[in-house]
Structure 1
Amino acid sequence: MREIQHLMSTIKRQFKLRGWTYKQLAAALHVSEPTVKRMLTGTTLTLERLAQLAELLEMSMADLMLESDNSQPRLEQLTQAQEQQLVSDVRLLLVTICVLNHWTMPDIVRKYALTEAQCLGHLLTLDKLNVLELLPGNRIRLLVARNFAWLENGPIRNFFLRQSLGDFIDSPFNSQTELLNFSHGMLTVDATAQLRKKLQRLQREFAELHEQSLHAAFEQRHGTGLLLALREWEPQGFEQLRRDS
């Protein structure tokens, strides 16, 4: 329903940008002005009528749909309370992570021990949080922005740092899809700043590769974690041997 409403808003905005009046549009469609007003404020529109409106706007239907999608406000972050709601239910958090990685409802139910009813309930919760729009046939339309991120020091990040970091590191890192390197050195403040920028660039590249991988079949994509960390640090054992200053 929200998708249709946003499409109608996009159509109205495009006609307004082109200087069309209700009277002119009514004449072009051979209907009355009240009919045009009802058409542009309603939620039902035939495919034929949509094609007529797109033609008057000198746009293809595909371009009109794309314009509607691109102009829709996207969620960039959840609130503290919303993130806490997710971490309070591990199944809801699981469904959230799957959805953000573009899993379908059948994908989730096939992979994890959730019934369709349980999965649907969690999807409806995410719909209320504006993370997604649940479409007919239980199809999922994400409503998050490309730069969507968890709150810094928020419930989600803290959950993964406290409960999942050890699990992530607990690996021999000896397969072709794994890599673990650790470096330690003495850096100036300027050198550290340069390295920080490079790590941030690497994180953006990871996100770009994630987007590119979405075009591959579901079976060809694998959950992959990238951990980047940088801090001024000395092992505790070394600190204990320091002389008192």
Structure 2
Amino acid sequence: MSTTADLVTALKKELKSAQMTYADLAQGLGMAESSVKRMLAKGDMALSKIDAICRVLKIDFAELARRVADAQPLLAELTQAQEKAVVADKKLLLCAICVLSQWTLEQIAAEYRLTPAECVKYFAQLDRIGIIELKPLNRYRLKLAKTFRWRPHGPVMHYFRDHAALDYFNGGFDGHAESVLLVHGSVSRAIAPSFVDRLQRVALDFAQQHQADQKLAQKDREGYTLVLAMRSWEFEAFSRLRR
């Protein structure tokens, strides 16, 4: 949701882009130039005033709000409360995973036992949580960065560990483009973070490829789940054998 201050900042940029002075704006609003300066400097004004300035600038208020929303920084991580809200309803979690993969409402309703009305309800919840910005005709803008990840000790990862990790790793990893690697080794503590950086780059590459391939037909795409991890760890059975 755009704040008034964000809208005022956007209006100042529009004034500059239109090469319109405060005097020009004051004339269009029927106000004194000094009053206009104070109003914009304060950064807070009634929406009716913002709407009036939009008319002078000949821009639509909805378009201004969209530009402000599009300029907001994307989230690399949700808050604890946001994640807790997502996992509170398994159908909502399903929709969250689907929008991360840029599925449309129609695709979700066609693939899962969710009615279009249910999907609309869950999309509205995702909008309130802050994962998407819901647009007309049930389209949306994802508000998460390409580097987005679930909190390491957050509700979603706890859910994954409790309910999905065994199912995931029980797979054979012998299908097309599937692989699982288990590599042990002792490396310098100074060099270890560089491997984490590489893993993060692989995750980013995967996310960017996902975005690029959205233009392909559904039949030419396959859903994959990439799990990358690195930690200082030893089998519990081995640890029990240590002196």
Q: Conserved in 2, the CA contact under 8 Å of 1:84 and 1:155? A: yes
Could you tell me which residue of structure 2 aligns to residue 177 of structure 1? 177
Q: Give the TM-score, by structure 2 length.
A: 0.74
**Structure 1 gap ranges (5+):** 52-60
Gaps of 5+ in 2: 32-45
Report if the CA contact (8 A) 1:6-1:72 is conserved. no
CA contact (8 A) 1:10 1:67 kept: no
Whether the aligned pair in 1 keeps the contact of 2:146 and 2:204 (CA below 8 Å) is no
By how many angstroms is 1:105 displaced? 0.7
**Aligned residue for 1:13?**
12
Is residue 12–residue 40 contact of structure 1 (8 Å, CA) maintained in 2? no
- What amino acid maps onto 1:13 in structure 2? K
Deviates more, 1:64-73 or 1:165-174: 64-73
Partner Cα distance (2:73, 2:184) in 1: 43
1:191 is displaced (CA, Å) by 4.2
In the TM superposition, residue 92 of structure 1 has moved relative to its aligned partner by: 0.6
Contact 1:23/1:33 (8 A) holds in 2: no
Shift in CA distance, 21/40, structure 1 to aligned 2, threshold 3 Å: farther
- Cα distance in 2, alignment partners of residues 8 and 232 from structure 1: 48
Matches within 5 A, 1:1-245: 12-18=11-17, 20-21=20-21, 23-24=23-24, 33=30, 41-42=50-51, 49-50=58-59, 68=68, 70-242=70-242, 244=243
Q: How many residues align?
A: 225
Cα displacement (A) at 1:155: 0.4
Query: How far apart are 1:111 and its partner, in Å?
Result: 0.7
CA positional deviation for 1:164: 1.1
* 1:173 CA drift (Å): 1.4
Q: Distance in 2 between matches of 1:130 and 1:233?
A: 35
Deviation at 1:106, TM superposition (A): 0.4
1:168 CA drift (Å): 1.1
Cα deviations by residue, 1:134-169 (Å, 9 ceiling, x for unpaired) = 222222222333443322311011111221111111
In the TM superposition, what is the alpha-carbon distance from 1:177 to its structure 2 partner?
1.9
Whole-Å separation in 2 of the counterparts to 1:82 and 1:131 = 9
Q: Offset of 1:68 from its aligned partner? A: 5.0
